[in-house]
Amino acid sequence: MPKKPTKAASPSTAPILANGPAAAGPDTAPASNRATRAAERRAAIVEAAMEEFIARGFAATRLDDIAKRAGVAKGTIYLHFKDKESMFEELVRIVIVPVVARLTTLPPPAGSVRDLIETFAGNFLKEVIGTRRGDLVRLIVAEGPRFPSVADFYYREVVSRGIAAMRALIELGIARGEIRQKDLARYPQILVAPAMIAVIWQSLFARHAPLDAQEMLRVHLDLIFGERRTT
Partner DNA sequence: TATGAATGAGATTTCATTCAT
Partner DNA sequence: CATGAATGAAATCTCATTCAT
The smaller minimum CB distance to a copy of itself, of residues 137 and 172, is found at 137
Which residue in 66, 87, 77 sits closest to 38, CA to CA?
Answer: 77
Integer Cα distance of 92 and 97 in angstroms: 8
The smaller minimum CB distance to DNA, of residues 71 and 162, is found at 71
Integer Cα distance of 223 and 229 in angstroms: 13
Alpha helices (runs of H) in the chain, residue ranges in sequence order: 34-56, 63-70, 74-80, 84-104, 113-127, 132-143, 148-154, 160-175, 189-205, 213-225
Integer Cα distance of 147 and 53 in angstroms: 13
Q: Considering only residues 60-89, where is the footprint of DNA by CB under 7 A?
A: 60-64, 72-76, 78-79, 83-85
Q: Considering only residues 87-116, where is the footprint of a copy of itself by CB under 8 A?
A: none
DSSP 3-state of 146:
helix
Binding mask 84-123 for DNA (x = CB under 7 A): xx--------------------------------------
Integer Cα distance of 58 and 50 in angstroms: 10
CB of 81 to DNA, least distance (A): 8
Residues that bind a copy of itself (CB under 8 A): 1-2, 9, 55-60, 85, 138, 140-148, 151-152, 154-156, 159-160, 181, 183-184, 186-187, 189-190, 192-194, 196-198, 200-201, 203-205, 208-209, 211, 215-216, 219-220, 222-224, 227
Residues that bind DNA (CB under 7 A): 30, 33-35, 37-38, 41, 60-64, 72-76, 78-79, 83-85
